[in-house]
Amino acid sequence: MTQTKRSVGLSPSQDGSSVTSPRRRSLMAAGLGAAAFSGFPAIVRAQANKIPVAVVVGLTGRASAWGVPVADAVKLCVDQINSSGGIKSKQGAQIELILADHQSNPQMAGTQTERVIQVSNALVVLGNATSGATVVGSAAAEKNKTAMLSTDAADTLTAKGLKYYFRIGPKASAMATTAVNFAMETAKATGVAPKKVATIADDSTFSQDAINGVLRDLKGTSWALHENVSVPAGSVSDFTPILQRLKLAGVDTIFQATFAPDGIQILRAMKTLNFDLTAWVHVLGAPYTPEFNAAVKRDGNFITDALGFVPELSRKNALLNKFSEAYRAKYGKDLDDQSSLGANSVAVLYDALERATSLDREAIAQAIRSTDLQPGANPFMIRDGVKFDSAGDNTRASGIVMQLRDEQQRIVYPASFATEKVVWPMPKWSAR
């Protein structure tokens, strides 16, 4: 493959508008011909007035619960950037957003990521929202030396030595650490310690990474780990046999990482079995999702969940509040974990495009690599700040723990963010 270092295409005229002279058109045609002859160039520069950026997420299928909020938030942010004059340091270049749907299919995530880079010339990819898809999509981005800004949390992604993968939020094992630290500190503060602990996780990459983080951190406690239950995601028709086994064994605390459908089923079986727990701590997973809350309603109360975002955070954060209002006004729904990560991704992109020495993939990736943003650094930096380590993890991403109370997500940990005192141990089912 031939690499071309020369800029190909349009350049701004002196008055800032983009024009194409006949000579340049000839050069461009020659350049494109050469590029076509030699295959796709590894470095493709954008037209000066358009910066193609792709969002490759699941817009249909199960993953759309994660993909659609990301796409919505990114669209809102990009609209705001473009309408406020685009990328100033690049003569007001507008971001051209390319939306691609991987249909909740990991293989399709790879194909679509490849397509938006090779065919649509995307200079940066935001994707792929869910772990299975991102494992494949990130490989395609890496192969094409194109930066991928990711809202996914699976540890696996930053453990592979990828150079062009950047995670915006906390990784699964970091949230697991938050979950276990919360449990340890709360047990110490209340004097009610778990006696026998079990973990439940589905077989998705994210859930396995999360629960492995929990298992690792539990070794630092004095609690007895009874069993690590692993189930195929969405395929267990009846959880009662599993839960009866745990109940008979005397398990009183469960750490869990499952998606909403399994989370709903497990909760309903727990209630039916009158399976009382001291604590039920989730790592991201089901409890924060609207579908979980719509299905379980009051039965979800007192469950705790380690995650990166709850709507309540906007009370203390004016910027977040402003963005939340704009998001609600445009889409008629609340900002959630994924959409807030989507906004933070655009914050990083916006900053990197302003700082990039040129509009080619390598320069933009390099600018992203050197990101150093504090919360509120630009209008889309609505969550934690961002500074990437060599693996592509955001060293400034942090986790919080919320507890469902009266069907609302209330922050209970850490103390600096807490808006409610945690209820620990959980009330017995018969006493609710």
Residues near other proteins (CB under 8 A) are 60-62, 64-65, 203, 227, 229-232, 234-242, 244-245, 248-249, 260-261, 264-265, 268-269, 271-274, 290-291, 294-296
Question: Judged by CB, which is closer to other proteins: 203, or 389?
Answer: 203
Closest approach of Cβ 145 to other proteins, in Å? 34
**CA pair distance 55, 57, nearest whole angstrom:** 6
Question: Judged by CB, which is closer to other proteins: 176, or 269?
Answer: 269
Question: Judged by CB, which is closer to other proteins: 234, or 376?
Answer: 234
Question: Judged by CB, which is closer to other proteins: 272, or 374?
Answer: 272
Question: Judged by CB, which is closer to other proteins: 190, or 235?
Answer: 235
Closest approach of Cβ 341 to other proteins, in Å? 20
Closest approach of Cβ 378 to other proteins, in Å? 33
Helical (H) or strand (E) element with 143: helix 131-143
Closest approach of Cβ 69 to other proteins, in Å? 13
Question: Judged by CB, which is closer to other proteins: 61, or 414?
Answer: 61
Closest approach of Cβ 107 to other proteins, in Å? 16
Please enumerate in sequence order all residues whose Cβ is within 8 A of that of 352, keeping only pairs 6 or more positions apart, or say none: 124, 147, 364, 367, 368, 371
| Dihedral sign computed on CA atoms, order 212, 214, 218, 223 | negative
Closest approach of Cβ 307 to other proteins, in Å? 19
Question: Judged by CB, which is closer to other proteins: 89, or 244?
Answer: 244
Closest approach of Cβ 114 to other proteins, in Å? 25
Joined tokens for residue 383? 């969550």
Question: Judged by CB, which is closer to other proteins: 274, or 374?
Answer: 274
Closest approach of Cβ 237 to other proteins, in Å? 6
**CA pair distance 99, 225, nearest whole angstrom:** 45
Residue burial 114-138, b: 16+ Cβ < 10 Å; e: rest: bbbbeeebbbbbbbbbbbbbbbbbb
Closest approach of Cβ 101 to other proteins, in Å? 13
Question: Judged by CB, which is closer to other proteins: 245, or 405?
Answer: 245
Q: Determine how many CB atoms are found less than 10 A away from the CB of residue 39.
A: 10
Question: Judged by CB, which is closer to other proteins: 173, or 289?
Answer: 289
Closest approach of Cβ 1 to other proteins, in Å? 39
